[in-house]
Amino acid sequence: MIITTDDKGKETKYTYSQYKKIFAEKQGKFLHKKIIEALKKNLGELSNSGHEILSPSYYITKIGLPDEFVCGLAFKHKSDYSDHKSTLYDNNGGVADYIFGVNNLSMLERLCGIVGWDKKLYQCYVDISGRGRLGGICYENLAKQLNYQFKKE
């Protein structure tokens, strides 16, 4: 049994499973709010590439996304040496056996799932192939859904 007290001093009793569900809903709403705020503020800093694997710290420090969200997408990506498209390269152009990080296309897709999809852009996303173009469509969708105004330089 878990007992909570609200701001007015009223106690509420929950079973463990009830409280777990309530906590998950609250945490989900909190993360959603933080993600939307970060994107509205820093979308111009977010990479639109569907090819990159980036450090989790890029998304946390530069974009401002919550670490609880970002770290769930971080993996050890291994090279497949069968062809150049599936081989990973480091910043100096050398072949890397693996890179630990977040696949930017996966991040863009997840963010689109959070902000929602524009109908026409979603249809383009479904109909097209190629990581690069998919990343661009996801980025375009984020900008449209958030009414993001890019800063003129």
* Structure tokens belonging to residue 119: 């109908």
Each residue's pLDDT, cut to its tens digit, for the chain (153 residues) gives 898 898 899 999 999 999 999 999 999 999 999 999 999 999 999 999 999 999 999 999 999 999 999 999 999 999 988 887 888 888 888 889 999 999 999 999 999 999 999 999 999 999 988 989 999 999 999 999 998 776 655
Straight-line distance from the first to the last Cα atom of the chain, in angstroms, rounded to the nearest whole number = 57
106 sits in the region (left: phi over 0; alpha: psi -120 to 50; else beta) called: alpha
Q: Report pTM.
A: 0.84
Assess contact for 151 and 44: CB atoms under 8 A. yes
